[in-house]
A and B are shown apart, each in its own frame.
Chain A
């Protein structure tokens, strides 16, 4: 029982990280990035290229991955966001889906279809208490989530940049009129969002193996979390992520492991029927 809670929370932390990456982009440009899972996969594979193929120290390959992902985020913005400014959100959703297909198949061409493992950056004997085993990697995952949550909270609410982002999100044209460097703000949001999913990828790869098709379902879990927590809601994303991790772990153990992926969607549809804007509410609701 205690073990299931720990495993569920560890899985949930990864979902929360995916959702935090989505939130970063959504909070600035109101775009739901349906390729977030593929960005995660890309992060995992860049990490593997560094740490496994080129045998770099794991810390160094983490730094390389984060830098590379920030760059990918900016390229992503140039290819997907800039040409589609002001178009119906529906078309933007489809473009990000198409981008996900491109990334997934490029990864298949570059790295092949076989699953690969990435070593964890931390070693050491698992912690044991009261019969519950917590691996060092799980401890590291929780710590990473906590640090990122804190950083993101400070960034969004306590810094000048966070205010610029909020202004951009609320009204892009007015933001530009009052002299906010809108494009730069958006670029930073995309870079940061992609970097967060890259980190999620680096954390997932040591637990499950990394393969080019891993992104689809993890990306969708990120949305389910965002929906449960309310799009753009920071505490909502984290609580929603942990909650979903627990639901999946317990559902797989006590109901049926075959329908593991269905629980997320059932919970999401249930939440939407009861609270159409998520349990914790949307930060900025869709403009009419």
Chain B
């Protein structure tokens, strides 16, 4: 990804948003959008690049959030929380991935849905620890080396920084041997194997890197929103994350961010539609899959070629 003027403009606009609005609700919504963007970037490794369907991403998100919530409420210093979240998520992704790496399409879809459902049921029914359906409240905030962000706007910048790191890592991986091996696995597993790619290992890496993204986003979610409940990490959320990836454009880093932000903000903007929003959302996703399988990212590049000419 070259640093284009357009990209700089987007970055500047993003940084300037809190200058124009101090509405806590709007900033809170944007914070959730940024967290979702990190999770979707993680999902992109397995689904967008390696071509493996994954409905367990919401469960990894939830595991990360609950680990941080439980640990910091128990008095463990915040600085340890991200490490704990990553540890738990890596263990969980190994448990899920090792037996399922050989599975394909609908089998993989079902197994990851099942995994998510099992995690949700454990969260809901392990009440003494997880607070059951009512969730956990008053989770201690972020604090490291005497620094702790106060208020929504400081959290906004902190989360933006986290997103920037997530994007940079993704860009670096995409252009490394690992990234190319992921794309090769998606394009043709047999072809990739013939070229010396260990596809089982690549799939495992893709799942695990994605899970680590979700785990870290979960950690930040718990300590910046300071409330977790099972609803935020349910199967519905897993499908929503997948839809964000599709709408934005599978395999495209800007696409992941645009998809996550759009599908986080749209339900609030279109609140007046009530139940009809979800009907239109379903139909909209079908239209995008049928008409623009590359999502908004591909639609944008088609438009650019048409009107501006190829650069």
> Which A residues have a C-beta under 8 Å from some C-beta of B?
32, 34, 79-80, 83-84, 87-91, 93-95, 97-102, 104-106, 108-109, 216, 220, 223-224, 227, 231, 256, 258-259, 261-262, 264-266, 268-269, 272-273, 276, 286, 288
Contact = CB atoms under 8 A, between A and B. Distances in A.
B279 A102 contact: yes
A87 B109 CA distance: 17
Contacts, number: 116
Contacts of B279: 101-102, 105-106, 109
B207 to A, nearest CB: 15
Nearest to A267: B114
B106 interface: yes
A266 B118 contact: yes
B171 to A, nearest CB: 24
A98 B110 contact: no
Contact of B275 (A95, A99, A108, A269): A108
A272 B275 contact: no
Contact of B286 (A80, A261, A269): A80
Contacts of A98: 243, 282-283, 285-286, 289
- The binding surface of chain A is classed by DSSP as helix
19 contacts: A89-B106, A90-B51, A94-B242, A95-B290, A99-B282, A101-B278, A101-B282, A102-B283, A105-B275, A220-B117, A256-B125, A259-B121, A261-B117, A268-B111, A268-B114, A269-B100, A269-B111, A276-B102, A276-B107
Contact of A94 (B113, B125, B281, B285): B285
B69 interface: no
Contacts of A258: 121, 124-125
- The binding surface of chain B is classed by DSSP as helix
Contacts of B299: none
B289 A105 contact: no
Contact of B106 (A32, A266, A273): A32
Contacts of B289: 84, 91, 94-95, 98
A44 to B, nearest CB: 19
Contact of A273 (B99, B104, B124, B282): B99
Given A102-B278, A105-B282, 6 more contacts: A90-B51, A90-B105, A94-B246, A105-B279, A224-B110, A258-B125
B103 interface: yes
A261 B124 CA distance: 12
B178 interface: no
A68 B125 CA distance: 40
A265 to B, nearest CB: 3
B53 interface: yes
Contacts of A106: 279
Interface string B217-232: 0000000000000000
Given A109-B275, A265-B115, A288 B106 contact: no
Interface size, B (range): 35 or more
Contacts of A224: 110, 114
Interface of B: 51, 53, 99-100, 102-107, 109-111, 113-115, 117-118, 121, 124-125, 190, 235, 239, 242-243, 246, 275-276, 278-279, 281-283, 285-286, 289-290, 293
B117 A262 contact: yes
Given A93-B105, A216-B235, A272-B111, A262 B278 contact: no
B118 to A, nearest CB: 5
A265 B118 contact: yes
In the A-B complex, list the 6 residue pairs whose CB atoms are closest, starting with the nearest: A265-B114, A102-B282, A101-B282, A32-B106, A105-B278, A98-B285
B128 to A, nearest CB: 13
A200 to B, nearest CB: 19
Contacts of A101: 239, 278-279, 281-282, 285
Given A101-B281, A223-B110, A231-B106, A83 B117 contact: no
Contacts of A94: 242-243, 246, 285, 289
B96 to A, nearest CB: 9
A163 to B, nearest CB: 25
Nearest to B126: A258
Contacts of A264: 114
B20 to A, nearest CB: 34
Instruction: Give the most central of A80, A88, A102, A268: most B CB within 10 Å.
Output: A102
Instruction: Give the most central of B113, B115, B235, B286: most A CB within 10 Å.
Output: B286
A276 B243 CA distance: 27
Nearest to A223: B110
Nearest to A87: B293
A262 B107 contact: no
A93 B290 contact: no
B125 to A, nearest CB: 4
